[in-house]
Structure 1
Amino acid sequence: MTATHGEKIVQEFSKQAATFADPRVNVGFTRHLDRLVRFMDPELDLDDVVLEVAAGTALVARALAHRVRHVTALDLTPAMLAQGKREADAAGLTNLTFTLGDAAALPYLDRSFTLAVTRFSLHQVADPAAVVREMARVCRPGAALIVADIVRPEGLDADPDAIERLRDPSHNTLLTAAQITDLLASAGAEVKRTDTFDFVRPVEPWLALSHTPSGSADRIREALSAEADGGPATGMRATRQDGELHFTHTNAFFQAIVG
């Protein structure tokens, strides 16, 4: 029987749960966490009731917990939530709840939260529009809805999704910043602020984080190495720095206000 996309996500991120706690490997998630919190800072209030959707190990939720009344971290992968709970307990956080659930069908009543955030999830899920609609639904009018994701630069010559899926079969599709803005608008949330920046990443920790099988990892290295040496474009914008193979992700943060 063919696995559903949700089952692929659980399978892949169950493998990654332990490595999410290792900043040497999880550099893409940890390096810009402070930047995201600073981006969110104007919206944060001590009385906020916050939801992190597709939270993984709740990196964002844990970073916000001391700033707000309560944070709920929801994710589809039990192993991710368990890792996050261990980290939260070790940090002594008592206002953080972990919930197993589907980002496209949130188990909450309308207008339950004063702020909702999702980080690096829209490129992963099967139906990003449904996730954004659900986040807007459970937010109170005037609440901030924060999306942080990898985006596809406009006018990119090659499709990076092929390499992304080879590394992680649960990867779905990179959206452009304009497409994410449209999803937010369709859900009734108006984008007020954005922050877009490139992040040049070393290839090896990226492959280690996802536990990519050796055969697939070798194919990725071969394609990126060829691109870095002037060969066919992969969409990953591969380069060499000090002899080490790197690629470039474009990250974008969106702050939208729910109507």
Structure 2
Amino acid sequence: MDIKKDVQKQFGRSANSYVTSEIHQKGKDLQKLIEIANLTGNEDVLDIATGGGHTANAFAHYVKHVTAVDLTAEMIKVAKAFIEANGHHNVSFIQGDAEELPFDHDRFDIVTCRIAPHHFPNVNKFIESVHKVLKPGGIFLLDDNVSPEDDDQDQFYNNIEKKRDYSHFRAWKKTEWIRMLEEKGFNIEEMYRFEKTFQFDSWCNRMKLTEKEKNDLSEYMLHATPNIKKKFHIEVIENTIISFKGEAIIIKARKN
């Protein structure tokens, strides 16, 4: 089974939990995306890998139209229900692949993608696809979890994400994102880094881990080096992991 089928399987069965997820629904990054977009109300926006529809829902209030695309049919269904229940009727929904976007060249004013690119097996194809569908001078707003620059810490973070979610491909380093975007024809205009606290139980339960999978993941994290435990602020009470911290970035990039 390839990674895209893994994504469809994993998110098909977890679709509703992403609509209600606190970290997806109420993250402060959503307001930052709106703020730095400098919206006029006339924008045609594409939201890639819309998931529970939170980004599309946030932008729908401020722009002319949003197209929400996702690889997984179940995600499209729950996102549509969520957004329309909020009274937005300027959003259309299309099932599609982030790496092969089914849209014309130079179509959108803004492209957003939030908490999703770590699932994409060919991130360079994704960036090329975004560049293709953006109008000249258009804005790409990227928002995703990232791994630390240190190689051991990078490996640890990607390992725990993969153990938790088999559809995880790779969380990239901040420097990797900057390099890839600039190589594909974008200018980086703004970047923001922020910490994210993950509650271990809800983080695992969102992916419907079995007790054995959860225990194996817990053991792996408990046996991490002191340096890694310090970096990720792994909180442990009576040999039970309560939470840990990761990091994410928002990048505002403009198409050359």
TM-score using structure 2 length: 0.91
1:55-94 aligned at under 5 Å gives the runs 55-94=50-89
Checking the alignment, whether the CA contact within 8 Å between 1:163 and 1:234 is kept in structure 2 is: no
Amino acid at match of 1:203: F
1:131-167 deviations in Å (ceiling 9; x for gaps): 1111111000111101001111112533122211111
Range with bigger deviation, 54-63 or 156-165: 156-165
Other-structure match for 1:35: 29
The answer to whether the aligner puts 1:219 opposite 2:213 as a matched pair is: no
Residue 128 of structure 1: CA displacement? 0.9
Indicate the SS of the match to 2:119.
Answer: coil
Could you say if the C-alpha distance between residues 236 and 84 of structure 1 is closer, same or farther in structure 2, counting changes exceeding 3 Å?
farther
Q: Which residue of 1 aligns with 2:181?
A: 184
Question: Could you tell me how far apart the structure 1 residues matched to 2:219 and 2:233 are?
Answer: 11
Say which SS state the counterpart of residue 104 (structure 1) adopts: coil
Distance in 2 between residues matched to 1:170 and 1:182, nearest whole Å: 24
Residues 170 and 202 of structure 1: CA distance in aligned 2, closer, same or farther (over 3 Å): same
Q: Within the alignment, does 1:115 sit opposite 2:110 as a pair?
A: yes
2:206 counterpart of 1:209: yes
SS at match of 1:255: strand
Paired residue for 1:254? 251
Q: Distance in 2 between matches of 1:72 and 1:248?
A: 32
The answer (yes or no) to whether the contact 1:191–1:256 under 8 Å persists in 2 is yes
The residue that corresponds to 1:127 in the other structure is 122
Aligned-pair CA distance for 1:217: 1.1
Q: For 1:225 and 1:245, how far apart are their aligned partners in 2?
A: 11
- Alpha-carbon contact 2:147-2:158 (below 8 Å) kept: no
Overall identity of the aligned pairs, in %: 22
Kept in 2: contact 1:236–1:247 (CA 8 A): no
How far does residue 183 in structure 1 lie from its aligned partner after superposition?
1.6
Alignment counterpart, residue 46 of structure 1, candidates 41, 47, 50: 41
Displacement of 1:236 after TM fit?
7.7
The aligned counterpart of 2:165 is 168
Question: Does the residue aligned with 2:209 lie in a helix, a strand or coil?
Answer: coil
Query: For 1:18, what is the secondary structure of its paired residue?
Result: helix
* Runs of 4+ residues over 6 Å off in structure 1: none
User: Which structure: greater helix fraction?
Assistant: 2
> Aligned residue for 1:194?
191
Give, as a single letter, the amino acid of the residue that structure 2 aligns with 1:11: K
* Structure 2 counterpart of 1:220, one-letter code: L
Residue 179 of structure 1 deviates from its aligned partner by: 0.7
User: Is 1:5 the counterpart of 2:3 in the alignment?
Assistant: yes
Alpha-carbon separation, structure 1, partners of 2:31 and 2:182:
23
Alignment partners' CA distance in 2, 1:105 and 1:234? 38
> What do you get for the CA RMSD once the two structures are aligned?
2.0
Q: TM-score, normalised by structure 1?
A: 0.90
Residue 41 of structure 1, CA deviation = 2.2
Q: Which residue of 1 aligns with 2:17?
A: 19
**1:37–1:64 Cα contact (<8 Å) kept:** no
Which amino acid in the other structure matches residue 162 of structure 1?
A: N
Give the Cα separation in 2 of the matches to 1:232 and 1:138.
43
Aligned length: 251
Q: Does 1:151 align with 2:143?
A: no
Instruction: Give, in whole Å, the separation in 2 of the partners of 1:73 and 1:235.
Output: 38
Q: Specify the SS of the correspondent of 1:17.
A: helix
User: In 2, are the aligned partners of 1:58 and 1:84 still within 8 Å (CA)?
Assistant: yes
Contact residue 196 and residue 246 of structure 2 kept, 8 A = yes
Gaps of 5+ in 1: none
CA contact (8 A) 1:49 1:69 kept: yes
Q: Is the 8 A contact 2:34 2:59 kept in 1?
A: no
